[in-house]
Structure 1
Amino acid sequence: METCSSCSSEELPKGCKNNGACGTGNCNSKLSVFNWLSDIHPPSIKNEPQYIEVRFKDDRKDFYINDSELSLCIGDIVAVEANSGHDVGIISLTGELVKIQMRKKRAKIDELFKVYRKASHKDIEIWQNYKNKEHTVMLDARKIARSLGLQMKICDVEYQGDGSKVTLYYTAEGRVDFRQLIKDYAMAFRSKIDMRQIGYRQESAKVGGIGSCGRELCCSTWLTDFRSVNTAAARYQQLSINPQKLAGQCGKLKCCLNFELDTYVDALAEFPSSQTVLETEKGKAYCIKVDVFRNQMWFTYTDNPISWHPINIYEVKRLIDLNKKGINIKPLDELQQKEELKVDLIEENNLHRFEKRSKSNTNTKRKSKNKNQQRTNLKNTAEKPKPKAKANNANSNQQKKRPPKKNK
């Protein structure tokens, strides 16, 4: 099996051999950034600091200064400065695009750490050994927290590259007392303990999974910022407020509800208000449903709420103008009958118009085949010779039936 030319993984970057500079992702990393400036080489300036983006476990990334002018590229494993000791990560981005990402995430240049060196074989071995321990440490941490009766969930564990610090990510609804917990963790894991509380959306981004659409979760692949999702987004899209269908794996409303919200808002700008009331001869008709795709509004009477009547939005606007003039419109049943009388001869709005024609052609072909078979059968019956009557046999039978003559 071929190996990546830039890192120690046993897989080439998907799509091409550009070491992750393409938009397909480098070595199956999460939240990879498309380096659209990879082919552009700006003029180099003396004593200009170089910045790189380093990816650690899952979606954790950070920016560093390459002040020692090391020749680094995407996929290199480097040892970088940390608060205590050093950490090991993989370079995910280099060049001028790093500065744009730093402005986007508002990173402070004065607070950036330095890049020590390219990771040696010893650094990589120590880093891999601690990475293999993370799952067992997470299970042990959950047991210790459960024994203390704390209402929290340890969802992920990350070791620093040199093993001097363990970061435990947890979720909790309320405040958690860590005084005894940190002591037990320090005795069990023999390293510095760092507790970080994250939300349920961040937990699903770290763990990952498959959504109801059949694809990998957006938060674990490409979504970097978590915007608040309200039930108003579902109401604009005419969705039923069902928490089982609208909630994602994190238990919160799905982030994809915001993706098409702007399109629905623009489409609903042409619709009359959903609080529209029509004055008819039978009484008041209230709007109960809006169909954005068909440009229709559904109305019903208070006396008969079971029967719904769809009306086009342009017809609704005309009826509203008539009500403003003080004219009561005809009942909705008659209006609906008038709309049904309009026949689409060309069948432009019918999606199954070609299927109907194909069925009719097949039926006509079958009828023609049946007629041809009937004609051939008639010809065959006409050509067959009719059987001749046996006269001799008939006369003999008649003679036998006659009674014998009496002698006088």
Structure 2
Amino acid sequence: MAEVAAIKFSDGQMPRYYRIGSLEVAIGDSCVVPYGKGETVGFVASIEPHPCPMGAACSHYPSITRLASEKEIAQWRKLRAREREAMALCKRKVAEHELPMKISTVEIDESHNKVVFHFTADKRVDFRALVRDLAGALRARIELWQIGVRDEAKILDGYGVCGKRLCCAGYFREFKPISIRMAKNQDIALAPSKLSGCCGRLMCCLAYEEPNYVAMAEGMPPIGALVRTDDLEALVVDRNILDQSIRVADRDEKLHTLRLDEVREVVEIRDRKGRRVKRLQDLEEEAEEAEQGDVSDILADGENAPQ
């Protein structure tokens, strides 16, 4: 079984996985690995005894090029130190210019001639004065790239509420649109804390199982529908799509669990305002009020009738 090494490039970044191949590496070793359009140095954070730490095929991971030399390690440490200095300088200058932006990451190329900052902002930012200050202080070409909050999460990396690495940082190649409808189709509670990812947007994993839920939900009574069995008439208050069962409340608000094959009739009902009915008593009370209203209207018309 092939082994995969988790390579880290700085203390603040999550690791990337590389195939070890025939090399002999140990935890803490510095290696030269493919990165972006070139190569860079990183250190081995861990060695996985299995080929697929993220559930993907081992062939999807690039291979470690070679062990780094002492000179390359010294250059790498110098580069990381300069990036930390550049980050601190940029944040200080942003505060001085009172710019509404948040610096996310900084990257300095191997030649030290170009410094790229990534930032997030709610709107367009005029950072020309900031670029002039940074170029004069760092004596390099400065680039500032505005990214979205989802891109920021992908760059910074991290772990989701599931305990696994963020999907966007692990294997996503492009973001797909996620809608609240996907959560509704899976009968997930619409609580922001349960639906939002580290980026503050809807979690990408809402799209993973949604097609299966939609297919399995076909033919199931919707919540709020009136169902009848051989000996029961009740209102659907909850349903378990995977278990293919529904939870219903009768007129006494007693709860029952029914299998789909027990349901003989399904009637979708709404109140007079088109809202979903939550209790059978509400529907009956509304019907009584409607009848009383009709009688009152008739009496009123009779009193106003010409003599």
The bucket for the TM-score relative to the shorter chain is 0.5 to 0.7
CA drift at 1:123: 6.5
Q: CA RMSD in A?
A: 3.8
Measured against aligned partners, the alpha-carbon deviations of 1:230-283 in whole angstroms (never above 9, x if no partner) come to: 111211221111111221211111122222222212221242444633479xx9
Contact 2:7 2:16 (8 Å CA) reproduced: no
Distance in 2 (CA, whole Å) between partners of 1:90 and 1:126 is 9
Map of 1:202 onto structure 2: 151
* Distance in 2, Cα, partners of 1:26 & 1:274: 47
Deviates most, 121-130 or 227-236: 121-130
Separation in structure 2 between the aligned mates of residue 33 and residue 216 of structure 1, nearest angstrom? 16
8 Å Cα contact 1:277-1:287 kept in structure 2 = yes
Match of 1:310 in 2: 257
Are 2:133 and 1:187 equivalent residues in the alignment?
no
- 1:124–1:192 distance in 2 versus 1, CA, 3 Å: farther
Change (3 A) 1:267 1:161: same
Indicate the residue corresponding to 1:232 in structure 2. 181
Residue among 14, 20, 27 paired with 2:7: 27
* Contact kept? 2:213, 2:242, Cα under 8 Å: no
Which structure features the higher share of strand residues? 2
Deviations 1:360-386 (A, max 9, x none): xxxxxxxxxxxxxxxxxxxxxxxxxxx
Counterpart Cα distance in 2 of 1:150 and 1:168:
14
Once the 2 structures are TM-superposed, how far is the Cα of residue 191 of structure 1 from its aligned partner? Answer: 0.7
Query: Aligned-pair distance for 1:225?
Result: 2.5
SS in structure 2 at match of 1:289: strand
2:167 corresponds to which of 218, 227, 233 = 218
Residue segments in structure 2 that go unaligned for 5+ positions in a row: 10-14, 22-32, 43-67, 268-279, 281-307
Report the CA distance shift for 1:313/1:34 in structure 2 as closer, same or farther (over 3 A).
farther
Which ranges of structure 1 fall in alignment gaps of 5 or more residues? 1-14, 17-21, 39-53, 63-79, 81-87, 92-118, 322-331, 333-408
Specify the code of the residue in structure 2 equivalent to 1:27: I
- Residue 320 of structure 1, aligned match among 266, 284, 300: 266
Give the superposition deviation at 1:180. Answer: 0.9
Q: 1:89 maps to which residue?
A: 40
Overall identity of the aligned pairs, in %: 29
Match for residue 211 of structure 2? 262
Aligned-partner Cα distance in 1 for 2:176–2:200: 15
Alignment length (residue pairs)? 230
Structure 1 residue matching 2:78: 3-state secondary structure: helix
Please, what TM-score do these two structures have when normalized by structure 2?
A: 0.62
**2:185 matches 1:242:** no
Q: Helix, strand or coil for the counterpart of 1:320?
A: strand
Q: Are the aligned partners of 2:108 and 2:114 in contact in 1 as well (CA < 8 Å)?
A: yes
- Measured in 2, the distance between the counterparts of 1:194 and 1:255 equals 29
Shift of 1:130: 1.8
Change (3 A) 1:178 1:28: closer
TM score, norm. by length of structure 1? 0.48
Q: CA deviation at 1:176?
A: 0.4
Paired residue for 1:177? 126
Q: Is the 8 A contact 1:155 1:170 kept in 2?
A: yes
Name 2:239's counterpart in structure 1.
290
